[in-house]
Structure 1
Amino acid sequence: MRAALAFCLVMSVLAGSAGASERGPVTNLPLPRFVSLKANEGFARHGPGKTHRIDWVYKHRNQPLEITAEYGHWRRVRDQDGLGGWMHYSLLSGVRTVLISAEIADLRRQPATEADLVAQAEGGVVAKLGDCQPDWCRITAGGRKGWVLKTQLWGVTPDEIRN
């Protein structure tokens, strides 16, 4: 009976995780939302609990992940490839990072395509997320700061504005 109740609760969390204006039942924070991996290693499990099998092992500290559901101390996350599972909340951080999704991304001094080039970042580089305007975000990676087109990043929504 208790297992059936837990299953029903998890299924209701899963079923309701598609809406962008939804709030998490545990944290009351928006779902979906982006976070980063706090630990050097994190297990993504098939379900919310240590008894569930491990589907993925993330090994890159600060990797951006998207939370799509909550259940107790567990958060369902997915990565840039759409893969993931349930992770214990203690492995996640609210510090925002992004992944360079373009083959090469230009970091510019100002948020404009004609602005001076500061550096270039290869696809797969993880960067700390700063301010975001409608089309550009400021990032920090490898000791360099610059503005990158939002379309070249994974870990930020297209309409997200950050100050």
Structure 2
Amino acid sequence: MNAAQDNLVRTDSRREFTVMETPTVEDGAAIWRIARDSEVLDLNSSYSYLLWCRDFAATSLVARGPGGEPIAFVTGYARPERPEALVVWQIAVDREHRGRGLAGALLDALTARVSADLGIREIETTVTPGNTASDRLFTAYAARHGARLERTVLFDGGLFPAGADHEPEVLYRIGPLTG
């Protein structure tokens, strides 16, 4: 694959391609909508998605449909205390584009880019026990890349505000990443 093709991914059996690229602030509203419509992600304010697209664009990707509209995204950041670790904050695919491997392709493309550009050598993310789709995504990612996957509870449900009835957030640490 040449450099011009690096941001393309085959997304289904009809041989359609989706462009993956750095998000812009103009993508913030669509990313917020995709997160809202996922019905599993914690929804942040619409303002935070605009900031994310401005301040953490280098560690995030958006996938675009045929008309250039965002159809999926992954957001992340390098941990200040461990700059070799990419924290994957959220990843979501618009409902009509699910089941084509787009989330895995986004994760692969993002980690390839940040490994090369920023020296990232491991991924961290949190998954609640009831989120089987995310568990499968990150477990498959680790297996595909031959990386170790460790799971530990990062935040117990009791740490969240009273009445939040929040499941524990389980830390998935995947690494080392090898190029």
TM-score under structure 1 normalisation? 0.30
TM-score under structure 2 normalisation? 0.29
More helix per residue = 2
More strand per residue = 1
